[in-house]
Chains A and B, each alone.
Chain A
Amino acid sequence: MFRLENRGLINREKRLNFSFNGKKLHGYEGDTLASALLANGNHLVGRSFKYHRPRGIFSSGSEEPSALIQLGLGANTEPNIRATTIQLFNDLVANSQNHFGPLEWDFMRVNDFLSPFLSAGFYYKTFMWPKSFWEKIYEPIIRKAAGLGKLSGEPDPSTYDKGFLHCDLLIIGAGPSGLLSALMAARGGAKVIIADEDFLLGGSLNGDHTQINNDTGVNWVKKTIEELISFKNVRLMPKTTIYGAFDHGIFGALEIKTNFDRIKSDKPRQVLWRIYAKQSVLCSGSSERSLLFGNNDRPAIMLSRSVRQYCNRWGIIPGKKISIYTNNDDGWITAKDLKEAGCNVVMVIDERPDIIAPIKNVDYRLGKKVVETKGSLRISSIRLDDGTKVETDCLAVSGGFNPNVHLTCHERGRPQWQEKNQCFIPGKTPKGMEVVGAASGVFDLNSIFEETTLKMKKILSYLGYKHRKVIKLTADHKPYNVSAFSKSLAKGKVWIDLQNDVTIKDIKIAVQEGFHSVELLKRYTTLGMATDQGKTSNVLGLSVLSILKNKPIEEVGTTIYRPPFTPVPIGAFAGRSRGKHFKPFRLTPSHQWAEQRNAVFVETGNWLRAQWFPLAGERTWRESVDREVLQTRESVGICDVTTLGKIDIKGRDAGAFLNFVYANNFGKLAVGKVRYGLMLRDDGIAFDDGTTARFSEDHFVMTTTTANAVTVFRHLEFCRQCLKPAWDVHLLSTTDHWAQFAIAGPNSRALLSEILDPKIDISNESFPFMACGKVSIFNGIEARLFRISFSGELAYELALPRRYASSFMEHIFEIGKKFNLVPYGTEALGVMRIEKGHAAGNELNGQTTANNLGLGKMVSKLNDCIGNTMSEREKIDGEAVLKLVGFAPTNKMQSLVAGSHFISKGKPAKLANDEGWMSSVAFSPMLNKSIGLGFIKAGDQRFGEKVDSVNPLNKEVIEVEITSPHFFDPKGDRLRG
């Protein structure tokens, strides 16, 4: 075991079993997967992305670039999980990634020997020819070799949720500055949320032996949290990463609820929060960076502060012969703590020649550098620039600290260079965001406490809360000093980005090839990409670029960070909106009734509509649909048309308003009448159509197509509020309030007469075609009756309050038996409208005009209405434009295909000869052949002409004859009868 007695914030009473690559291991409550692996002596945990180099645990937090593992099994598995961020749980299963054969003996390690060839741009340059090889040969091989973890390919069984939170003050990070901020805000009475990605609040204090006001840092954290918990105005959110700062104080947060512990439960595993904060304080601390030397990527080369944290927080002995390589004071703190813990520190190497060693009881070298390392699966020795060779099995490296400025960049704030601490500090922050602590480039605790107190006083008074006195905090910290970046390039294979296998050589190549700018360098070399987003590598890369370009680092610039700070699973963004919950169905009032009759349903927009009603013995959908059409045209049929949008329009100027929004005239529509209306966009393209009925001088009822119900309403509100604000018009959407049924067929009047209350006269004389009125049915149920016809039959549409719809269906079918009443679905509806040549969604497709639809003459020439002026444009209004006409195959046995294109006889079927397209087709049981509607140039002047209907997808050519679109009862005798 590599565990120290009596050290660390772990619960040794609670042993947790887990497995890594099938090997059964154990850790304790309080461990991360990384700390538990180290406690078992496992430094080697994976293979690198490109060269398949052995890789170990490099850090102890979310900045981890190399310890990526595959977590869980089967459908539960998650790839590329940073072992350093996973709270250990019982029966955790982890596997290493990206190797073929055993981890210790990866067959792809050959890539490492080929590395001279595999540098930046290799793939772009090498796998170019022959072109056909890319998709089938190169890409699959490269994807297999260069990659990380694997997806299960199965649906994610976890539950995710979403939530909203509001607060005065959001504190991001619960380290020393975050906890102090929270304490001050809590005591002042502000509504506070404090979030930290770690499961243990306290930040760096949990891994340090700091003294605060003569007590340990860990105790100060405990006491502070205890006090915070006692406040009702504070919400502590451990395991919650603020992944993005968005406009106007909105933050995205991901909370891990169940620790990847997949105990079966409907409780969410992760919750995506949207936090609204009046002010925010960024206390995200800093991340350590490495130093550059040959083969600096071997397992057990780790960041110095992380080594210290593993020792202090998790009680781990990271090695038996530990060496420390630093350029700043923090490396010496690691040395001191390791010594105190009883570890064997073989040497401290400090790049700075002119310092006084802070501790003496250790072998140290000042002004020296590490230049090379050895060791295959773990570091075994280092060589200094003076030739000294040191045997070591763990090298703790400290190259200074980078403030975690990420969230300050999410609104395009650009970090600024701070020469003193050799790091980028926040530039312009998002509005309402203050940055305190190490995140602002202040590294000693006393200054941090001072700065935090000052800034929090200001924030609290801005928010209108009192500042109550807080005891002054003093820590045993000394000011921090770091040496400047090296001015010469390190030699050998020197890694900058451990995750993407980017070395100094790659940056050299990029610069040689002209990718000078930081942004281009990033994209060409992949430096700073993927799951860690360059938290440990970006600044190192810039330092190399600065040497190569011979410019100071602040002139080289920096890339800025975008959300998310750490990866967020797609499942969390989806939340509970998965599968059918992504877009719930709207059900028609007769849905249940139709379901009981075995209707086949179709999705139309959000709606689920009955498509046809199969009867026993019917083998194909055509049989059912043909029967529905024939029975309707022979006697009577009924169809639920509730899905059409319904808009109530009232007001003194309602008539003028309709005249304005429709392209055809509505001014003279008599009370008790319905009219077809065509709605255009202002550019002359057809937008929607429907009927509008006038119930009184100032009351109209409009119907829209199913698909456009929402957009038409939005458009009408725009016209009302923005174009005609002085008019007295009121709009109300009533789509869901009225159930509406089309009752069509020669017997529709007779059937209706039996359900309408007595004395309601619907004879052809008193209730002619296009009449409307308020009626009552079944003894006093209010209803609206419209004599309109989409099917071309004598037909009515009856609207009744939705709550009666189910019993209405039961009753009307009881009464309808003697008329052989048939329910028909959207398919029969479509057949009948195509037989009649009515345009529908396929024809109003956002490309067609009134003139294309054969409705050009309807468009008002006199008054001002939406779309009429631009309809008069030459290209829209000309003679040779596309016209909606009918098409029938000359060979009756052939079936037409919608989407086919028309080519004149004798011309080759190519784009240049394209004359239009088939928009809708159906088999007409009345005509006993396939018929279609479509658009063809000057079609209305070409009746009788034969053209080819070409379907390039299956190379099918059908000869068709251009006809009138009115295939059935062209004079309309039936609907007026």
Chain B
Amino acid sequence: MIIPHPHLGPRDACEFVYKGDAELVFRPERVAPVDYDTFHNYLYLRQNPAGAHKELWYHEYGDRSWLVVTRNTQTHEILKVEFASEYLSGQKDRKSNV
């Protein structure tokens, strides 16, 4: 696969390390009283869509950026690539909800 890096252009997937579902960036914060279910859901429950899937890729053999890659799991088509930090800043509402 080729992942178009936002700064470095098209890069072979072998330069990256895959982590999985991009939902991992929405880590709940520990606030009293501690809600264990929320943490449980964050850690163990994932969507496994056949189709567009936002996932985390780390450009380890490159600029060490964590990217949110939207990939069609059926065709491997790369639909969108963003820096994780930029993706997060576009999802501020989401972040405050958890």
Contact = CB atoms under 8 A, between A and B. Distances in A.
A157 interface: no
A817 B32 CA distance: 59
Nearest to A725: B85
A714 B58 contact: yes
Interface in A237-292: 246-250, 276
A38 B94 CA distance: 73
Given A248-B76, A717-B58, A718-B66, A723 B25 contact: yes
Contacts of A718: 19, 56, 58, 66
B36 A873 contact: yes
A276 B2 contact: yes
Interface in A704-729: 714, 717-718, 721-723, 725
A248 B43 contact: no
A722 B76 contact: no
B56 A722 contact: yes
Given A725-B84, A725-B89, A864-B29, A870 B66 contact: no
B46 interface: no
Interface string B4-38: 00000000100001010000110101110010100
Contacts, number: 66
Contacts of A717: 58, 64, 66
Contacts of B27: 682, 723
Interface residues of B, number: 32
A868 interface: yes
A584 B89 CA distance: 41
Nearest to A723: B27
Given A722-B84, A869-B36, A714 B2 contact: no
Contact of A247 (B2, B24, B42): B2
A864 B27 CA distance: 11
28 contacts: A247-B1, A248-B2, A248-B76, A250-B1, A411-B76, A431-B77, A714-B17, A714-B58, A717-B64, A717-B66, A718-B58, A721-B66, A721-B85, A722-B24, A722-B25, A722-B56, A722-B84, A722-B88, A725-B84, A725-B89, A863-B30, A865-B30, A869-B34, A869-B36, A869-B39, A870-B36, A870-B39, A872-B36
B58 A868 contact: no
A249 B66 contact: no
Contacts of B66: 717-718, 721-722
Given A714-B58, A725-B89, 13 more contacts: A276-B2, A411-B75, A682-B27, A682-B42, A714-B17, A717-B64, A717-B66, A718-B58, A721-B65, A722-B24, A723-B27, A725-B85, A872-B34
Interface string A723-746: 101000000000000000000000
A683 interface: yes
Interface string B51-81: 0000010101000111000000001111000
Interface of B: 1-2, 12, 17, 19, 24-25, 27, 29-31, 34, 36, 39-40, 42-43, 56, 58, 60, 64-66, 75-78, 83-85, 88-89
Contacts of A723: 25, 27
A877 to B, nearest CB: 11
A717 B89 CA distance: 17
Q: Which of A250, A411, A723 has the most CB of B within 10 A?
A: A723
Contacts of A276: 2
B97 to A, nearest CB: 16
Interface in A783-838: none
A305 to B, nearest CB: 37
Contacts of B31: 864
A722 B2 CA distance: 22
Contact of A869 (B24, B30, B65, B89): B30
A721 B76 contact: no
A431 B39 CA distance: 41
Given A722-B24, A864-B29, A247 B34 contact: no
B12 to A, nearest CB: 8
Contacts of B83: 721
Contacts of B77: 431
Which of A276, A725, A872 has the most B CB atoms < 10 Å from its CB?
A725
A730 to B, nearest CB: 11
A682 B42 CA distance: 10
B88 to A, nearest CB: 6
Contacts of A721: 65-66, 83-85
A722 B65 CA distance: 10
A868 B85 contact: no
Nearest to B17: A714
A869 B64 CA distance: 28
Contacts of A863: 30
A868 B64 CA distance: 27
A721 B89 CA distance: 11
Interface string A859-892: 0000111001110110000000000000000000
Nearest to A711: B17
A687 to B, nearest CB: 14
Residue among A247, A682, A873 with max Cβ neighbours from chain B (10 Å): A247
B43 A714 contact: no
Contacts of B76: 247-248, 411
B84 A249 contact: no
Query: Nearest 9 CB-CB pairs, A to B?
Result: A864-B30, A725-B85, A248-B2, A722-B25, A247-B76, A721-B66, A722-B84, A247-B1, A869-B39
A721 B56 CA distance: 11
A796 B94 CA distance: 48
Given A714-B60, A717-B58, A717-B66, A250 B36 contact: no
Interface in A670-727: 682-683, 714, 717-718, 721-723, 725
Contacts of B84: 721-722, 725
Contacts of A725: 84-85, 88-89
Contacts of A869: 30, 34, 36, 39
B24 to A, nearest CB: 7
A754 to B, nearest CB: 41
